[in-house]
Structure 1
């Protein structure tokens, strides 16, 4: 009997023994291809779509949370040139405008790519100023109810103490378990946790019809003269240079390792999850959901496009939002920066009012915001980002009552803003709103409606708010109207379904968004 069969037999015997005693322990099942032993939790959800669909998509706590923070941080933060896709573009001679000039920049500053590969940046990724306690405090003070790292980006580098991937933050570079340390600090503050995975694009896949040596849907350019084709046991995992079936097992094992070792409340997947065969996606989801059941946790799975069925995942729209209000919770991941996700030289940032107003639009449409931060390679979060996080936290502290734990109104709102298409679906995350644009949320008990003006109204002008009543409560009666965060009383009337207000003095309104609370009789 070989080693794997012996292990399986011992596992089965142990499981039967514990079950006979009334226990349902999580045991380990070994993956023959990688040697990784994933916990085999009691099967509440089988790895098929019908069974997994019974899990549901978003837990209520995620619907309540509204705001989370994550960060793109890794060896690509060392060159800090143009984009976090530097590892890909440094291998391309004539890429599109997105990555144009990266190879030339690399060779000028670091040397030829056949001598200085991406892996040579790893020892330079020192993260000496990384402080998980300060980061957790920062994210919480900014108003986030959940947070976590990009656990592994397309570049193939793991930000945790991985026993599967030797290219990881504990073994080299920072020599810190970034994921483990940060998630522990977040939990100490009562926050939920998220880990994100982008590595489905790392594997070098050859497709039918491609010339020999060509790879389609692959992050790294395959070239027999470059490190990307290395058969070195360590480098082939960084560059994804392995047969597809082996890579699929490797991909799954990495996700399972994080679920087993760190118990994140959410796992989130970037685009290209659909290149992973259905069987592996089902196994991944079942493992995550069963782990949650075993631990007594309500967990969530988030991904983009149509990569998983709606009844078991939360849909994410990158850098955008919904044009209308869907019937289920969704998410958008957006940046503090004007473009790009990791820290880069001469980085530009969105103005805070633009950022918050677009968040309010998301919240009014049953959405959740995942905000990206971009630390430098040394672990310092730049002042421009700190200032925006501080401003966001101050706004949330004043108006959080109208955000956290709320539910949608009968309509999300109305207004005059020109809606632009987003680059990844839906609408853009940089819509220019004004005080003429109105958004609504409702308290969970339905007794209060919150009215957001996405700008600062002119003091003394008359403001008319429509659509407070809907088809289910045409006889709605207003008891009180107050302005959140202000000491002065509101002058108002409510007649034939229209609320009329006198705009408050500038000292009592908010330059970002002014919020009124309407209590219903």
Structure 2
């Protein structure tokens, strides 16, 4: 496996500060997980996977002996297989143009939908996926093409997420109950490598995605036989200003990612990406209420913190099975949209003033973050008038957090 880095991120990625992640799949039908256990924080008794807050992992969690998800499934659905949810998923209220308008109202730069998650369901008629995609079953439509068109019509870039490392439709293994099981049970053979490679190549050829976002590494055969090198080379050729994330298990990444409190050591320099949900799940979890969901103020602070440290925020929404973004999520997004749009002109080209160029300080009870954007020093604070700023040579822009 040869290294395939960019020397520098393209200008659009350096200037971008907000992406929208979309986890939408058959798991939106049961839409259930324990919401209390935020990923990366101290594990609950019995382990993270048994008590996973990720609703998109439902197919795995219900198979773990003694899990609350398993008990919930038995009570509500009896012994019905997970595959039944694909047929029950109708997407009858899906309006990609409405989604795109909402994302644009936040000042989003790019949108990255899940095209295949670990359950193996593809949201388009992927080659070789016959009988297990949203064109043949469930929604009975290609969910990606109209979204790509709507996103681009609103002036945003379109990317794709693909689970290269796990596919529970392909494998027939015990459930994942500890992290080592991921690497023990993920498919690595030539047949799956060819299958996944054909999918991603098709995504590249159809959608020319600005972001190629893989998850849980890539099958080992593909790393060893040169096919991953060839796939990335094809992407570079087709999308010269496209960027590749760091979850391939190979030296091909353009930028580093972190997730909730996991991989915080990747949050250095400029151009890294932090991803998380509005709650403790990526897929829609009907159990999540306001207590588990970022408020407009909390989201504003999180966004400002990521921007101040040189990163991009990839913020996830989880639509319900009909295709509606749940009201509790919309409430937060609409509540912070005006503030985020007002901040947007000051997030591009950010850098870090140091030495005697700028000094920003405040009392301990004052929350603030700051960065340079060109010749402007941007300060975001809950009480801007309580922040002391000494920034010779900078135009100071002080922005209060939303109410």
Question: Aligned partners of 2:315 and 2:359: how far apart in 1?
Answer: 23
> Alignment partner of 1:439: what SS?
strand
C-alpha displacement at 1:482, in angstroms? 5.2
Question: Aligned partners of 2:393 and 2:64: how far apart in 1?
Answer: 64
Counterpart mapping for 1:179-328 below 5 A? 179-202=144-167, 217=181, 244-273=189-218, 277-278=222-223, 279-293=226-240, 298-304=241-247, 307-309=249-251, 312-320=253-261, 322=264, 326-328=268-270
Does 2:352 correspond to 1:409?
yes
Question: Aligned partners of 2:396 and 2:94: how far apart in 1?
Answer: 46
Question: Aligned partners of 1:398 and 1:136: how far apart in 2?
Answer: 19
Give 1:49's aligned residue.
2
| From 285, 292, 306, the counterpart of 1:344 | 285
| From 324, 335, 349, the counterpart of 2:277 | 335
| Stretches of structure 1 lacking an aligned partner (at least 5 in a row) | 1-47, 95-99, 211-215, 222-239, 418-433, 469-475, 485-508, 513-521
C-alpha displacement at 1:202, in angstroms? 1.9
1:459-518, Cα deviation, whole Å (9 max, x unpaired): xx653135x4xxxxxxx445x54545xxxxxxxxxxxxxxxxxxxxxxxx4446xxxxxx
Greater length-normalized contact order (CA 8 Å, ≥ 6 residues apart): 2
Question: Aligned partners of 1:57 and 1:406: how far apart in 2?
Answer: 14
1:102-138, Cα deviation, whole Å (9 max, x unpaired): 22222222222xxx21111111011100011111111
- Segment drifting more, 320-329 vs 284-293: 320-329
Counterpart mapping for 1:369-384 below 5 A? 369-384=313-328
Residues 91, 436 of structure 1: alpha-carbon distance in 2 compared, 3 angstrom cutoff: same
C-alpha displacement at 1:456, in angstroms? 3.1
Counterpart mapping for 1:473-512 below 5 A? 476-477=392-393, 481=396, 483=398, 509-511=400-402
Give 2:379's aligned residue.
451
| Stretches of structure 2 lacking an aligned partner (at least 5 in a row) | 34-54, 175-179
RMSD: 3.2
Query: Number of aligned pairs?
Result: 367
Question: Aligned partners of 1:89 and 1:133: how far apart in 2?
Answer: 33
Question: Aligned partners of 1:334 and 1:399: how far apart in 2?
Answer: 21
Q: Does the 8 A contact of 1:143 with 1:392 survive in 2?
A: no
Residues 280, 435 of structure 1: alpha-carbon distance in 2 compared, 3 angstrom cutoff: farther
> Alignment partner of 2:159: what SS?
strand
TM (norm. structure 1) is 0.64
| From 89, 95, 106, the counterpart of 1:125 | 89
Question: Aligned partners of 2:342 and 2:316: how far apart in 1?
Answer: 22
| From 13, 24, 28, the counterpart of 1:73 | 24
Does 2:74 correspond to 1:107?
yes
Q: Does the 8 A contact of 2:362 with 2:387 survive in 1?
A: no
Q: Does the 8 A contact of 1:149 with 1:194 survive in 2?
A: yes
